[in-house]
Chains A and B, each alone.
Chain A
């Protein structure tokens, strides 16, 4: 299905502005370990206090990208590991037979950030929360395209977020992790728009190891470049994203 990208907002690895990401795509700057978080001053302090670094990254990008349709846009919130720091703390408390924190429990579920977005904006449109291994980013786009197509929505918001997994899980992660969020506002392509299409095939190579680079970075590197096409292989899939002007 053809679509266009009306907004793209990303924050992570020390890069926070469109100029930063353009320079990144040109190879002029690279990612750093900077852990600077968006201030989110627009959210009242009493609501903001419950936002973890994960939630702050996600909400900053979601609120900026959703723009004028913020109260009506359907959304897809995607993360491979979710806010695992919270889950990890809960599991430790269970093991230590401590009482669990109700707030931590409520905000540790995979759709928690989508819920916070909905509460803050008053947006009651359908919202999904997905996770799909190393293919999470592109799978979120597929989910959004299905929503666009099936429901004839005028746009769908995709919010991808990842933070570094807690130390105890590090050995299970093959990817170079970056704490990052990226929100895209997708819409059916119209006259004069940049037209994107995304295809996937089963990966015949049976690649044994995961890609070192996160898909979201493959995407941003492509989006802010002049390339017409990018191919990304994962263990299971071969993705191709194309760009043209209608």
Chain B
């Protein structure tokens, strides 16, 4: 899970061109959108495409479930791990 979390953070930084941010700067439990890391709705779409491509998981756009999955790095990792099994 820790490796996956590192991987996901790296993916977020690269996909969204986050300048001056290191994986260590992102807390596993912090909100990715709005208040936390400050990502916006375009980032959500972009990240969805990247996660889908990297982990071959299916994401329902705009469902309440996806909102929960995309809340933090931790929830994203749990979602990816669950979808893989």
Q: Is A167 an interface residue (CB 8 A)?
A: no
Q: Is A28 an interface residue (CB 8 A)?
A: no
Which one of B17, B45, B52 contacts A49 once the chains associate, using CB atoms below 8 Å?
B17
* A interface bracket (residues with beta carbon within 8 Å of B): 10 to 19
Interface membership of chain A positions 31-55, coded 1 if the CB is closer than 8 angstroms to chain B and 0 otherwise: 0000000000000011011100000
For the complex, give the distance between the alpha carbons of A50 and B17 in Å: 7
Q: Is A133 an interface residue (CB 8 A)?
A: no
- Residues of chain B from 15 to 62 with CB closer than 8 A to chain A in the complex: 16-20, 38, 42-43, 45-46, 49, 52-53
Q: Is A246 an interface residue (CB 8 A)?
A: no
Q: A99–B16 contact, CB under 8 A?
A: no
Shortest CB-to-CB span from A109 to chain B, Å, is 14
- What residues on B are CB-neighbors of A102 within 8 Å? 42, 45-46, 49
Q: Is A101 an interface residue (CB 8 A)?
A: yes
Shortest CB-to-CB span from A23 to chain B, Å, is 33
Q: A101–B16 contact, CB under 8 A?
A: no
For the complex, give the distance between the alpha carbons of A103 and B50 in Å: 12
For the complex, give the distance between the alpha carbons of A106 and B49 in Å: 14
Q: B45–A45 contact, CB under 8 A?
A: no
For the complex, give the distance between the alpha carbons of A49 and B40 in Å: 13
Q: A103–B38 contact, CB under 8 A?
A: no
Q: B20–A45 contact, CB under 8 A?
A: yes
- What residues on A are CB-neighbors of B20 within 8 Å? 45
For the complex, give the distance between the alpha carbons of A102 and B43 in Å: 9
Q: B46–A99 contact, CB under 8 A?
A: no
For the complex, give the distance between the alpha carbons of A203 and B3 in Å: 66
- What residues on B are CB-neighbors of A101 within 8 Å? 46, 49
Q: B46–A103 contact, CB under 8 A?
A: yes
- What residues on B are CB-neighbors of A49 within 8 Å? 16-19
Q: B38–A106 contact, CB under 8 A?
A: no
- What residues on A are CB-neighbors of B52 within 8 Å? 99
For the complex, give the distance between the alpha carbons of A48 and B18 in Å: 10
Counting chain B CB atoms within 10 Å of each CB, which of A45, A48, A98, A103 scores highest?
A103
Q: A99-B52, A102-B45 are in contact. List 8 more A-B contacts (CB 8 A).
A: A46-B38, A50-B17, A101-B49, A102-B42, A102-B49, A103-B43, A103-B46, A106-B42
25 interchain pairs, CB-CB under 8 A: A45-B19, A45-B20, A46-B38, A48-B19, A49-B16, A49-B17, A49-B18, A49-B19, A50-B17, A98-B53, A99-B49, A99-B52, A99-B53, A100-B49, A101-B46, A101-B49, A102-B42, A102-B45, A102-B46, A102-B49, A103-B42, A103-B43, A103-B45, A103-B46, A106-B42
